[in-house]
Chain A
Amino acid sequence: MKNDKIALYPGCSLETSSSHYLKSIEKVFEILEIPSDSMEEWNCCGATSVKSIDQRLNLMLNLRNLALAEEQGIRDLVVPCASCYHRLVSTEYELNRDPKLRDELNKEAGFNYKGEVKVRNILDFFVNVVGLEKISSKVVKPLDGMVVACYYGCLNTRVPKPASFDTMEYPMTMDKITEALGATVIDWSYKTECCGASLFITVDSISTKLVGKILNDASLREADCITVSCPMCQTNLDTNQGKVREAFNIEKPVPSPFITQLMGLAFGCEPEEVGMDKNFEAMKPLS
């Protein structure tokens, strides 16, 4: 069977805390005429703790994901979450680099993963599979006059191997998408700085400081919003702004919509259709 399908790997966050991300992706996919089904029977990518504790188990977890995707005829497995992407793409790389290991793990877990499914970051997918031309052709309400800071976070592009789909330290894919929507993007210093999402619950003093720096830079550069593609970053930048802004003396809220939410708005969707009602900091309505 030839793998020719496109499917999402939603990961845990898109089904729970970031369900508005999934909603906006589904809506945008619909407008772009991309089948938006999630792959079936996916399992946890192991990003939270497994990867640090048992690397082999981590490979195994994602081997299962990849093997199932392959069985389901998937060609492009689109991964919106930066952590999931990191785990899946690293597994793909490791297993394809080392066929012996792949055979060994396949045998152990009873799969037959051959390496025919391609793991794609959602930004990579939009720019390199869908294409900017297609995206801009769907724009009916251009984001004219909106100034956007594109925030990639620390994980999206920092996959040392295989080579990143974008420039590791100063990526531009999200900027290109945002420009295609008609908005103005800014150059700024915090595109790939860590927001401290992993310490959001445990040591919030650190994450407050890190988020503060990000919001501060974007706000001083007069960005109307910071657009994001990682669900953890979005939660971290969005949910705690009151406290952070107070600490950093930032007057105006800095909404942090997902890139797919901005796409939806530019495509003419109502805010609720792309889950904007779930964002803590509201976007000012588009004129």
Chain B
Amino acid sequence: MNNKQIGSILVVGGGIAGMQAALDSAEMGYKVYLVEKEPSIGGNMAKLDKTFPTNDCAMCMISPKLVETGRHLNIEIISYAELEKLEGEAGNFTAIINKKARYVDENQCNGCGECELECPVHRKDNFNGELSERTAIYRLYPQAIPNVYTIDKSTPEAPCKVNCPAGVNVQGYTALIAKGKFQEALNLIREKMPFAGVCGRVCHHPCEDNCNRNEIDEPVSVRNLKRFVADREKTLLEKGELKKPSLEDDTIAKRAEKIAVIGGGPAGLTCAHDLVKKGFQVTIFEASSKLGGMMRTGIPDYRLPKDYLDYEIDLILGKGVEVKTNSTLGKDFTLQDLKDEGYQSVFLSLGAQKAKEIPLEDSEGEGIIYGIPFLRQISEGKKPPMGSHVAIIGGGNVAIDVARSAVRLGSKATIVYRRTQKEMPAHSWEIEEALEEGVEIRNSWSPARIVREDGTVKGLEVERCVTIYKKDGKRSLEVDHDQKNIVEADTIIPATGQECDLEGIKDEIEVEEGLLSSDPLTLETSQQGIFAGGDVVLGPSSLVESVAQGHRAAESIARYIDKEELRTDREPVMHSGPSAEMPDGIDKSKKERTHTSVAEPEKRNSNFEEIEKAFTEEEAIREAKRCLQCASCAECMECVRTCKAEAIRHDQKDERRQIHVGAVIATGGFTPFDARKKPEYGYGIYPNVITSIQFERILSASGPYEGHVKRPYDGKNPKKIAWIQCVGSRDVTTGNDYCSSVCCMYAIKEAMIAKEHDPEIEPTIFYIDIRAFGKGFESFYEQARYESGVRFVRSQISSVKENPLSRDLQLQFIEDGQYKEEEFEMVVLSVGLLANPANTATANILDIAQNKFGFFEEKPLQPLTSSKEGIYLCGAGNGPKDIPETVMQGSAAAALCSEMLKEVRNTEASVKEYPVEKQVEDVEPRIGVFVCHCGINIASVVDVEKVSEYISKIPGVVHAEHTLYTCSQDTQKRMKEIIDEKDLNRVIVASCTPRTHEALFQETLREAGLNKYMFEMTDIREQCSWVHQKEPQKATEKAKSLVRGSIGKSNHLEPLQLKNISINKAAVVIGGGISGMTASLSLANQGFKVHLIEKEENLGGNMVYLKMELDGEDWQEFLKNKIKEVQENELIDVVTNTKVKSVNGSVGNFTTVLSGEEETEVKHGVIIIASGAQEFKPDGFLYGKDDRVKTQRDMEFEIDKKDKFGTVAMIQCVGSRDDKHRYCSRVCCSEAIKNAINIKEKDPEADVYILYRDLRTYTYREVFYRKARELGVKFIHFPDKEYPEVKESDGKLSVHVKDTVINEGISIQTDLVVLSAGIVANEEENHQLSELMKLPLDEHGNFMEAHVKLRPVDFASEGVFVCGLAHSPKNTEENITQALAAAGRAASILSKDTLEVGGVVSVIEEDKCASCLTCLRECVFDAPFVNDKGKAEIDPAKCQGCGNCAAACPAKAIQLLTFTDAQETALFNNILEEDIEEVTEVK
């Protein structure tokens, strides 16, 4: 390799696999970048409620890991980020990471959650299986790391906003109205629309036209919502219920520059408003006597009462705009005058107030009045000159307004329009209303002549218009002069359009087609500094368009004055474009649009009162709630207003980072099968059919129903619940013909936990095979089946039907040979684990292979190694698996990286330095107490507020508070601040168990400069809220007592100092099978010396009996190479024919005596136990009595030797899952399938039977099970307690078995019987090792790891690890993985130079010791020894602080530090004493 190696590792995916890989890698001395696409790490495990087979709380287990990962010095979490590119090669990669904008500053946000309370946008909460909602600003879950919020924001924006010419944030104010925040909504509208009340009445609302709700029913009534908030403010002001908004804004710096706005219509007023807000001196010059332009003169009162317009104009003027009315440009002043008066810029918004003349003769004079002046006169309170019957020419809104006004003034009104009604430019709703009010519309008539008699208008002659289709397909409108008619009228009102009056300006500014010309982007005219916009530029346009022009002009003018570039970064001219689609996963049910009340036509057509009423508050809220919130975040800015930490960044952008790493670990995780793809089960159709992931959330205390088992439809507590297994697993129709491997166990767990939540629940699990193959699984299954009352039915369900009345679900199945139909109140679909769809992108970027199911592909016989060098795999990304296997793979992948990068270990990682500890001895205690809510875990039972208040009064306590999650990162931060601020020297946390959380809090103390033993923890969850759930008051009292006790004890706390001891960087590996060899090689490749101890003469262990893998890969060749590799490795010292005689010492410094040909002693820092197991020797079935009865192991090699097999009967579970062996041996089903396939492929005529109870071909092994069936292997299912019998008579061999399908016994004449013999522990050897090292064994004689889920290769005793069959039965590749994991864990110790020991250990007062040796006998960790003075002494490196010796010592010579007699006495005294004043003794 040419490139320099880099001592850092990129971990892609922050689930439990990624976290473990990151933690181990970091502990081994590498810098880790952990990239997670979600806003926080935790992956799927964080969603689980409990875990099998121990029913431990998943969150309680993962939470400390989250925190550990989050605070590890050498792990950098890059969350809400995706890997975009990877270049380079093994040892030296360059990765590009795209960190998505979360719109929240990670360093500022403290996760307080205040923003969430104010956010008005709701989305289905994916984390909770969409059973509850979250807000647009959200955190995945309360314990999330990093504990910061993220805003879910769509680009492009919502269609309503995108299509509003003025860019009003429609979704924003709608969301605020839905939340009842009316004033906030109005303020948001006013940012872009100063005429909310006007616009709320007259807008042509493109927002509604483009509303995504149109696809469902009708658009949200946006315009009326706007009107509602505007009217509300005015009404409340008038009633005196609202204080007049302060118009003066002190924060605006006044500027001297003067700007003239000519024309006081909507464009001019908007421009003036924007400029005055920027501090400029603005004067509006208006030709008429009042401001408002067409808003005032063009819209009749019945649509817009003028007091609303006046109100909004006053709000603008109140901000300091000067107004000069009756000032006409060109008449009263000129542009030059303005310049002379010092105006630095001018906005021309003259409007289009002039009526367009009609091309008819005699179209002036008496009896003729144009539409625009007609309406203007009405607006001025005058009655225009008109008779009793008016004929209106035109089809636009003006024509309609004129007609409706004329009707109101008592006239008959007839509209004449050349085209059809559909083609009229007026809004359809206006036409409807006009017709209702009695306006007559005569369509397809063209005015030809004004009929006058003696000069008096008598009518309008009209001619028929016809549409002609020309040959080229184009249409044209032609007048048929032969068809004539006369519309009787005494007044003709032409309303065919408007023009601009450019008299006063046309010589100075360029004019084009009757309009002023200005740059569409900047609105600058031909004269620098003079801008023009609104109708005078656009021609007659809408209110919103004019307002948009006003904003644009103001922006340009401000830039002009500040001499900035006018064109850069401008809002595009066309305010439309792509907009957000209707979001997925929202409620798309029809909801009727709320209509406002409109006055009856006969009541409204005689006056000018406003005809439409505004929404009431209830109506407005109801209507606003119809909004689909298409863009998710509505940018209503409530979060910005709320956030005390000022962490919100709505303008944040994606950020690209480049990092350099030596190796990559790809996790990828899984995604649950989408149950909608099996519609026959009714998921997504029937509300009470849910997925197992949803059920996990239902069970979870932090889930949608706070841990109560409810069904979604009606919240009823279901009693009968059915689980349907293999939904999306073992299913060719969905392309997932593998087994997801965990569903059987999680379903059993869910059923049991459901029963724990509500004992009346009757769970039934419908299954094909129960695959309880892992360690401890079988007994868990048996417990569920035979003790906990979970009903198991071996029948696959084909479809789910729903009872339409009860919403219960009907299932059909076979039970005990009978066809049954039964109703269940809820159905849980045990959905399979699919490859994460994102894997494909990751695989492409990393250039690694995927298998046909989309999981990352491992190299044959090389678990966790991807197809590309330097990239390793772990977790469910490479196949469905359970948590312990995932964790093992995490450690193993770290080991593989470490093998590669051993030369550059500790080159990128940094070392943590703590502040100097402050003096606490002989100082008055100053105690701080933190009482934890644990979400609702504690607070729903214990009144934590009361506890905290009570505690605060106890002398010595200088600080007491209650916190939502004391373990959360933000609280930890706060704790440090408080320790500092209040000079605390003792800290008490009253929360959960010290088992999981003590180390975390102690670390916080160290970081705050306190000795970590000045900490005391009170468990008020397990001890109070959990056990006294039904007695909250008593639980609260008990919590008080317990904390009181802790306070008593903390007065006696003393700081303890840790000692650094050096580490012997060598390992002893016990067992030379594949596991031992793999572990040894990995450690040696990481640069550590290894002593590999094998009791037999040769290396290889059980693997010498294993010929090949299911897929045909040759294990024997592999083994040969592996042995050679081990023997040739200089760092591995292979010792055969040798056993371990004794082990002394402790982590970092062991001394082991070996007894081989001669006794030798080795010194080393760690031990790996890989002592293996053995094949069960069958004791029945004629085994050993008839040589035609063999085990699978014998059979495997014999297949080669034969060509014809005749009939072969295989019997499963021999020595497994029986009364003596209550566990599954895991490998035998696959072994049987493998041998059966090999027989059938060699001799297709052979009859092969496999007699089984549950076929446990988990993961891809399922594919081979299918293959065996396709090859014609016959599978016979027999009952659990009725093993087949093997008989011999007259030299003929036969097997008798009860077939559960036909429910009868059958007899098979056979040539061979093959017994699938199980795996049994090496009991004697395990016992001996267990005693030597004081290690626990389980009931089957296997070594018992520290924790089945998260510490699968560790022991409680540090420095000792286990792997391979010594741990539990498993397949070869799994043994290899576990061996790598053990090597990884061991290396995380060996890669350090020193270890800290001491702390909570026992100490012996030598004077009191009588050397009775009681402690030596008592200690399981072998810590006490007799020193050279003949007295007992305790090795602090070995002592685990269990306290057994202290309790047993007859002379009371032993004290366990931090649990000394004095401390414990104080604890108990304080608990028992109730009067707090008396008990508190201050040291």
* Separation of A190 and B682 alpha carbons in the complex (Å): 11
0/1 string, B798-810, CB within 8 A of A gives 1? 0111101100001
Evaluate contact between B679 and A189: CB separation under 8 angstroms. no
Evaluate contact between B804 and A188: CB separation under 8 angstroms. yes
Chain B residues, Cβ within 8 Å of A187: 685-686
B980: Cβ under 8 A from any A Cβ: no
Evaluate contact between B679 and A169: CB separation under 8 angstroms. yes
Evaluate contact between A217 and B804: CB separation under 8 angstroms. yes
Chain A residues, Cβ within 8 Å of B810: 189
* Separation of A221 and B682 alpha carbons in the complex (Å): 16
Q: Which residue of B lies closest to A171 (CB)?
A: B679
A53: Cβ under 8 A from any B Cβ: no
Q: Which residue of B lies closest to A160 (CB)?
A: B733
Q: Which residue of B lies closest to A186 (CB)?
A: B804
B680: Cβ under 8 A from any A Cβ: yes
* Separation of A190 and B801 alpha carbons in the complex (Å): 8
Q: From B685, B802, B805, give the contact of A170 (CB < 8 A).
A: B685
* Separation of A221 and B801 alpha carbons in the complex (Å): 13
0/1 string, B649-692, CB within 8 A of A gives 1? 00000000000000000000000000000111010011000000
A17: Cβ under 8 A from any B Cβ: no
Q: From A167, A189, A220, give the contact of B682 (CB < 8 A).
A: A189
Chain A residues, Cβ within 8 Å of B800: 189
Query: Would you give the shortest CB distance from A273 to chain B, in whole angstroms?
Result: 30
Q: From B678, B802, B805, give the contact of A189 (CB < 8 A).
A: B802
* Separation of A169 and B683 alpha carbons in the complex (Å): 13
- Which of B679, B682, B802, B810 has the most chain A CB within a 10 Å cutoff? B679
Evaluate contact between B679 and A220: CB separation under 8 angstroms. no
Query: Would you give the shortest CB distance from B256 to chain A, in whole angstroms?
Result: 63
Given the interface pairs A169-B679, A169-B799, the reply to whether A221 lies near B804 with Cβ below 8 Å is yes
Evaluate contact between A169 and B804: CB separation under 8 angstroms. no
Q: Which residue of A lies closest to B804 (CB)?
A: A220
Evaluate contact between A167 and B679: CB separation under 8 angstroms. yes
Evaluate contact between A170 and B804: CB separation under 8 angstroms. no
* Separation of A217 and B805 alpha carbons in the complex (Å): 9
Chain A residues, Cβ within 8 Å of B682: 189
* Separation of A170 and B685 alpha carbons in the complex (Å): 10
0/1 string, A153-195, CB within 8 A of B gives 1? 0000000000000010110000000000000000111100000
Chain B residues, Cβ within 8 Å of A188: 802, 804
Chain B residues, Cβ within 8 Å of A190: 801
Chain B residues, Cβ within 8 Å of A167: 679
Query: Would you give the shortest CB distance from A254 to chain B, in whole angstroms?
Result: 13
- Which of A167, A187, A189, A220 has the most chain B CB within a 10 Å cutoff? A189
Q: Which residue of A lies closest to B805 (CB)?
A: A220
0/1 string, B778-810, CB within 8 A of A gives 1? 000000000000000000000111101100001
Chain A residues, Cβ within 8 Å of B686: 187
Chain B residues, Cβ within 8 Å of A170: 679-680, 685
Query: Would you give the shortest CB distance from B988 to chain A, in whole angstroms?
Result: 56
* Separation of A116 and B678 alpha carbons in the complex (Å): 33
* Separation of A187 and B802 alpha carbons in the complex (Å): 10
Chain A residues, Cβ within 8 Å of B805: 220
Q: Which residue of A lies closest to B799 (CB)?
A: A169
* Separation of A285 and B810 alpha carbons in the complex (Å): 35
Chain B residues, Cβ within 8 Å of A217: 801, 804
* Separation of A71 and B678 alpha carbons in the complex (Å): 41
0/1 string, A204-244, CB within 8 A of B gives 1? 00000000000001001100000000000000000000000
Q: Which residue of A lies closest to B590 (CB)?
A: A184
Which chain B residues numbered 723 to 761 have a C-beta less than 8 Å away from chain A? none
* Separation of A167 and B684 alpha carbons in the complex (Å): 15
Chain A residues, Cβ within 8 Å of B679: 167, 169-170
- Which of B686, B800, B801, B810 has the most chain A CB within a 10 Å cutoff? B801
* Separation of A234 and B1205 alpha carbons in the complex (Å): 56
Query: Would you give the shortest CB distance from A196 to chain B, in whole angstroms?
Result: 16
* Separation of A76 and B1267 alpha carbons in the complex (Å): 39
* Separation of A189 and B812 alpha carbons in the complex (Å): 13
Q: Which residue of B lies closest to A217 (CB)?
A: B804
Chain A residues, Cβ within 8 Å of B801: 189-190, 217
Which chain A residues numbered 81 to 119 have a C-beta less than 8 Å away from chain B? none
* Separation of A25 and B819 alpha carbons in the complex (Å): 41
* Separation of A189 and B802 alpha carbons in the complex (Å): 6
Chain A residues, Cβ within 8 Å of B799: 169
Which chain B residues numbered 669 to 726 have a C-beta less than 8 Å away from chain A? 678-680, 682, 685-686
0/1 string, A244-268, CB within 8 A of B gives 1? 0000000000000000000000000
Chain B residues, Cβ within 8 Å of A189: 682, 800-802, 804, 810
* Separation of A170 and B677 alpha carbons in the complex (Å): 10
Q: Which residue of B lies closest to A167 (CB)?
A: B679
* Separation of A96 and B799 alpha carbons in the complex (Å): 32
Query: Would you give the shortest CB distance from B804 to chain A, in whole angstroms?
Result: 4
Chain A residues, Cβ within 8 Å of B680: 169-170
* Separation of A221 and B802 alpha carbons in the complex (Å): 11
Q: Which residue of B lies closest to A170 (CB)?
A: B679
Query: Would you give the shortest CB distance from A184 to chain B, in whole angstroms?
Result: 9
* Separation of A220 and B805 alpha carbons in the complex (Å): 7
Query: Would you give the shortest CB distance from B219 to chain A, in whole angstroms?
Result: 19
* Separation of A206 and B799 alpha carbons in the complex (Å): 20
* Separation of A271 and B799 alpha carbons in the complex (Å): 37
Q: Which residue of B lies closest to A219 (CB)?
A: B804
* Separation of A71 and B804 alpha carbons in the complex (Å): 50
* Separation of A109 and B585 alpha carbons in the complex (Å): 56
Query: Would you give the shortest CB distance from B12 to chain A, in whole angstroms?
Result: 35
- Which of A187, A190, A221 has the most chain B CB within a 10 Å cutoff? A187
Query: Would you give the shortest CB distance from A154 to chain B, in whole angstroms?
Result: 12
Chain A residues, Cβ within 8 Å of B678: 169
* Separation of A169 and B685 alpha carbons in the complex (Å): 13
* Separation of A30 and B946 alpha carbons in the complex (Å): 80
* Separation of A187 and B680 alpha carbons in the complex (Å): 12
* Separation of A149 and B682 alpha carbons in the complex (Å): 16
* Separation of A220 and B806 alpha carbons in the complex (Å): 11
* Separation of A220 and B803 alpha carbons in the complex (Å): 9
Query: Would you give the shortest CB distance from B625 to chain A, in whole angstroms?
Result: 22
Q: Which residue of A lies closest to B684 (CB)?
A: A187
Query: Would you give the shortest CB distance from B626 to chain A, in whole angstroms?
Result: 19
Q: Which residue of A lies closest to B678 (CB)?
A: A169
Which chain B residues numbered 1170 to 1229 have a C-beta less than 8 Å away from chain A? none
* Separation of A221 and B686 alpha carbons in the complex (Å): 13
Q: Which residue of B lies closest to A189 (CB)?
A: B801
Query: Would you give the shortest CB distance from B689 to chain A, in whole angstroms?
Result: 11
* Separation of A221 and B807 alpha carbons in the complex (Å): 11
Q: Which residue of B lies closest to A187 (CB)?
A: B685
Query: Would you give the shortest CB distance from B675 to chain A, in whole angstroms?
Result: 12
Query: Would you give the shortest CB distance from A215 to chain B, in whole angstroms?
Result: 12
Query: Would you give the shortest CB distance from A244 to chain B, in whole angstroms?
Result: 17
Q: Which residue of B lies closest to A221 (CB)?
A: B804
* Separation of A169 and B804 alpha carbons in the complex (Å): 19
Query: Would you give the shortest CB distance from B813 to chain A, in whole angstroms?
Result: 16
Chain B residues, Cβ within 8 Å of A220: 804-805
* Separation of A74 and B801 alpha carbons in the complex (Å): 41
* Separation of A167 and B805 alpha carbons in the complex (Å): 26
0/1 string, B1344-1377, CB within 8 A of A gives 1? 0000000000000000000000000000000000
The 21 sampled A-B contact pairs (Cβ below 8 Å) are: A167-B679, A169-B679, A169-B680, A169-B799, A170-B680, A170-B685, A187-B685, A187-B686, A188-B802, A188-B804, A189-B682, A189-B800, A189-B801, A189-B802, A189-B804, A190-B801, A217-B801, A217-B804, A220-B804, A220-B805, A221-B804
Q: State the A residues within 8 Å of B (CB).
A: 167, 169-170, 187-190, 217, 220-221
Smallest CB-CB A-B distances: 7 pairs: A170-B679, A169-B680, A189-B801, A220-B804, A187-B685, A221-B804, A189-B802
Given pairs A169-B678, A217-B801, 14 additional interface contacts (CB within 8 A): A167-B679, A169-B799, A170-B679, A187-B685, A187-B686, A188-B802, A188-B804, A189-B800, A189-B802, A189-B804, A189-B810, A220-B804, A220-B805, A221-B804
Q: State the B residues within 8 Å of A (CB).
A: 678-680, 682, 685-686, 799-802, 804-805, 810
